[in-house]
Amino acid sequence: MKSSYFKPRKFFSFSPHPYDIGNIIGFWHNHDDNHFLLKIYSSDEDRFADFYSYHLQYALDKNITKKENFFRHVWQIVNSRIRHFEMQDPFSRKHALHKSNIQKLQAFQRYLNSVDEWNARPSHLLIDEKDAMIQRQQSEIEALKLKLSEVSVFEVSQKVWVDEGYLPTLIDLVLQLRELGLDSGRKLLKSDHKIPYAKMISRYFSHAGKDISIETVRNYFVEKKGDVPVKGTTVPADRRLFRIVRTDEEFGSVV
């Protein structure tokens, strides 16, 4: 008699492994597929992988079959049972149960499809799957092309040149811009994050013709305690060459 691919429950075992198939008095080998499927009906989908691996390991340890043959065997059992339920009378009193079983089997079949490393399923299913994947990839490519065209509007052929040694001066001006206030008491510029300023400088300015690392700029935009940075880089005093002030503060308020 051919050994079952699935690990059976031991006779009269009152504490079997939850994935063992059969009942307390065992099972008939000719019905091992039924017992295997009964476990699927009562299992949560997040247990499918462990359930499948448990019986696969049993079959491999017992030298009953190889990994690919085990996959083919299980896939065929599941697929045949789905077809069986689909052919049942839709007006049967068991129709709701049949629908529930079909849904659970289809979910298990989707798991099987995800581990089919041999393309062992019927060719028409593989072709349909590949066609669907190609269609998804084409849609993703079109979306990426559109996004790229939108982003390319902001590309520049030549960055703004900052004279050599004066990158801190530019950064100091941007730091000042962040602090400018309006009559309403609100800030002229508002951002919940400092990274947009660092990205702007890195993307659109060059330091003596060389690209500016965003990490270099980021070090200037750090948290402060009062006027003292907690960490990072400060602008040297000899590079603080400009001061941005309101015109009414520079020339005096107009009454």
pLDDT tens for 67-117 read 999 999 999 999 999 999 999 999 999 999 999 999 999 999 999 999 999
For the chain, the distance separating the N- and C-terminal CA atoms, rounded to the nearest angstrom, is 107
Comparing 22-26, 157-161, 197-201, 218-222, which segment has the lowest mean pLDDT? 22-26
Which pTM value belongs to this model?
Answer: 0.53
Q: Is the pLDDT of residue 31 over 90?
A: no
Q: Is the pLDDT of residue 255 over 50?
A: no
Nearest to 168 by CA among 193, 205, 138: 205
pLDDT at 254: 46
User: Token match 């499918």: residue?
Assistant: 48
Boundaries of every domain in the chain? 29-121, 123-155, 160-250
Residue 15, CA distances (Å) to 9, 10, 18, 23 in order: 9, 9, 8, 11
**Helix, strand or coil for residue 9?**
coil
CB 79 within 8 A of CB 109: yes
| Segment 48-62 mean pLDDT | 96
Q: How confident is the model at residue 180 (pLDDT cuts 50, 70, 90)?
A: very high
Q: Is the pLDDT of residue 13 over 60?
A: yes
